[in-house]
Amino acid sequence: MTDRTTVHADNQDPLGASADLDLAFAQVAVLRAVSEAEDRGHDEARVYDASIRWGALVAGRLHRLALLSGRDALGDAEQARYEELEDELRALGPVLDRLGLPRPPSGSGGRHRS
């Protein structure tokens, strides 16, 4: 697994997209861990906490990233990470279903650059 956390100076990422991407990748990892823990035994508090954070991520940061991507406002590195995140989110579908969490809108405005 690669480290998806990057550090950017403010002038390289004035929109803060890298921080949003870091948070999104971290939340994907949390949901995978919660799902694996669910296989071993139910931890309702941990699932609840993850569901609250997931809802905020879907409603706020993922929507914002999709808008930035759709407007070609992301730098090349952030766009590549966003596309990787979209792939991760598609693969996360069964985990979301099992935990009873909403899937983010598919094709939520991001477009792949050629």
How high is the pLDDT of residue 14?
A: 67
Q: Which domain holds residue 23?
A: 17-99
The model's confidence at residue 110, banded by pLDDT at 50, 70 and 90, is: very low
Q: Is residue 111 part of a domain?
A: no
Domain count, the chain: 1
Cα 40 from Cα 84, distance rounded (Å): 29
Asked if the model's pLDDT at residue 42 lies above 80, the reply is no
The Cα-based distances of 94 to 55, 74, 85 in angstroms read: 17, 29, 16
Which helix H or strand E contains 17, and what residues bound it?
helix 17-40
Confidence of residue 2 (pLDDT cuts 50, 70, 90): very low
Count Cα atoms within 13 angstroms, Cβ side, for 4.
22
DSSP code, position 10: T
Instruction: Give a yes or no: residue 71 inside a domain.
Output: yes
Res 1 pLDDT > 80: no
- How is 42-102 classified by DSSP, letter by letter? --HHHHHHHHHHHHHIIIIIIHHHHHHHHTT-S-HHHHHHHHHHHHHHHHTHHHHHHHT-P
Residue 105 lies in a domain: no
pLDDT at 35: 86
The angle subtended at Cα 77 by Cα 35 and Cα 83, nearest 5°, is 45
Q: What is the pLDDT of residues 6-35, one digit of tens each?
A: 444 444 676 789 999 999 999 999 999 988
